[in-house]
Structure 1
Amino acid sequence: MRKQIAAANWKMNGTLEQANTLLDAFASAALDVNDNRLAIFAVPAPYLILAKEKLAGNPYLQVAAQNIYSKKSGAYTGEISVEMLQSIGINYVVLGHSERREYFNESNAFLADKVNIALEYNITPIFCCGEPLNIREADTQNAYVAEQLTESLFHLSAEAIQKVVIAYEPIWAIGTGKTASSAQAQEMHAYIRSHFAAKYGADVANNISILYGGSVKANNAVELFSQPDVDGGLVGGASLIVDEFVQIINA
């Protein structure tokens, strides 16, 4: 059975004092998590060890890095390697976020290399895909997202692809206050699952968790997560507000 996941993406936000406060609050909150329902916190790199320590009391609260480099070590000043993450017990990494694609020119091929090295070190990629507004307005979002997935993931075996979590984020809904309707989210998630099914078969596709990201909030989480192919959310701004994200997790 595929897992339900509420993943927090703190992006480049928070001081050490603020991170301490947030992590303490989440560690002590009444969260409805279990073997099949996880909360994952993608925190800025300086706080990864802190987050591991603060959340260690609950195995269903996991920590993710926000990025890795495509090489395991070397002269790549400022980058973070999978060896580093593995050495501090980090089991998840966010890859392919639209901000990485747009601001840092990360290509589908480059992301394929990142996916490969993450899986080699048993770190689960939370792989982001999604279309900008002009693609949505042209009604070519399915082909756009299919290309992202095909070029970055379809070289993987059926066994390996089931270790990847997908996060569909319509770029036009990230941080804008706009949210895809629950019907739009379900339509795209169903399409993504069908795209995997065409390559790997329905059984494999049904084992892949697909999260929705894009202005997820407490007041829309229940409706979004009730859709049959929406397995949770990748949450930005709302994950920095304790009461808000607790409600999202429990949704």
Structure 2
Amino acid sequence: VAGGAPVSIELDGTKLPSLTPARGETRIHLTRASGTWVRGTPPGPAMKNPLRNGPFKEAFAHRMQFVYATHGTPEENAWAFHKARFDAETWWYRGNGSVDLVPDHAFDPTRDRDRGVVLYGNGDNNTAWAPLLQGSPVQVTRTRVKVGSIEKTGSDLACLFLRPRPGSDIACVAVISGTGPVGLRLTDRVPVFLAGVALPDCVVFGSDALSRGAAGARIAGFFGVDWTVENGEFASTPE
């Protein structure tokens, strides 16, 4: 607001008269609560903000590194390594960029906290999962995917989602995951680096997506401004 002069705002039928910026500020922040707009405070770094707000591809910034699973079955470990390597070479070819490939046992979550991370695997086979995603409302194991209170079971589910990286105000963790070997390999068909492919904050789909298309989706949506499922917008199927 230029000069700190009072302004009146009408938004979605809500009238807010004679608002002035706080001392030393040039902006007025509004928050939507109970279906109406009220004056709020500037969003802190833990909230979605212009420096970090998703969706999925936002993790491909801040010198991202690929952390792949090594604590699964031989088949899971082979997938994680080769998928991470393939994605790194794709990034090199498409974006002329170099990505560090890091096995989970060599990853130190306390170092380089402002670097983006792309994690390959799930909570059962990637040891970087716990320090990076312990408080995440999205959890993936070999048999199930849980997004808030929504749970889907099966060994053929793929899941891609994004979370803020703990200890950083700017970096994110993107997760390329699945419930079993079929679900893990299903992510190979997602062109994450292709321009125009818009992925939400979180998406879960089954192997039937290969034949049914969008009908194979199980869960999709965006986290709320506080990075929760409850305050976000999600859709799910009854399957």
TM-score category of the 2 structures, normalised to the smaller one = under 0.3
Higher helix share: 1
TM-score of the pair, normalised by structure 1: 0.25
Larger Cα-atom Rg: 2
TM-score of the pair, normalised by structure 2: 0.26
